[in-house]
């Protein structure tokens, strides 16, 4: 099911504005819709300016991030 911008904003409305926003593929195929939005409480950023893959480790950390899976 497609997610609307309203749905997404409702999920993240109480997060601090400096919360990291990450994206991750559910699998190797590309999809037309967002599959899941997840708030991870124990992420560990590798580098806030990293442009490569796996710039954030989803665990073993102390930072909150928003992950959009497609």
Tell me what pLDDT residue 4 has.
77
Contact, 13 vs 27, CB < 8 A?
no
Distance linking the first and last C-alpha atoms of the chain: 12
CA–CA dist 30, 70 (Å, integer): 7
Q: What is the pLDDT of residues 11-67, one digit of tens each?
A: 899 999 888 777 776 665 555 567 788 888 998 887 666 565 667 888 889 988 888
Tell me what pLDDT residue 48 has.
60
Complete edge-to-edge strand list for the sheet that includes strand 56-57: 20-24, 63-69, 36-45, 56-57
Tell me what pLDDT residue 10 has.
92
Burial class (CB in 10 A: 0-12, 13-18, 19+), 70: middle
Tell me what pLDDT residue 8 has.
86
Tell me what pLDDT residue 47 has.
66
pTM: 0.63
């Amino acid at each position: 099911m497609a997610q609307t911008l309203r749905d997404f904003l409702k999920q993240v409305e109480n997060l601090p504005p400096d919360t990291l926003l990450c994206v991750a593929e559910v699998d190797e195929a590309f999809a037309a819709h967002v599959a899941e939005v997840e708030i991870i409480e124990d992420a560990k950023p590798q580098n806030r300016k990293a442009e490569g893959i796996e710039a954030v480790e989803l665990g073993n950390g102390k930072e909150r991030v928003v992950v959009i899976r497609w």
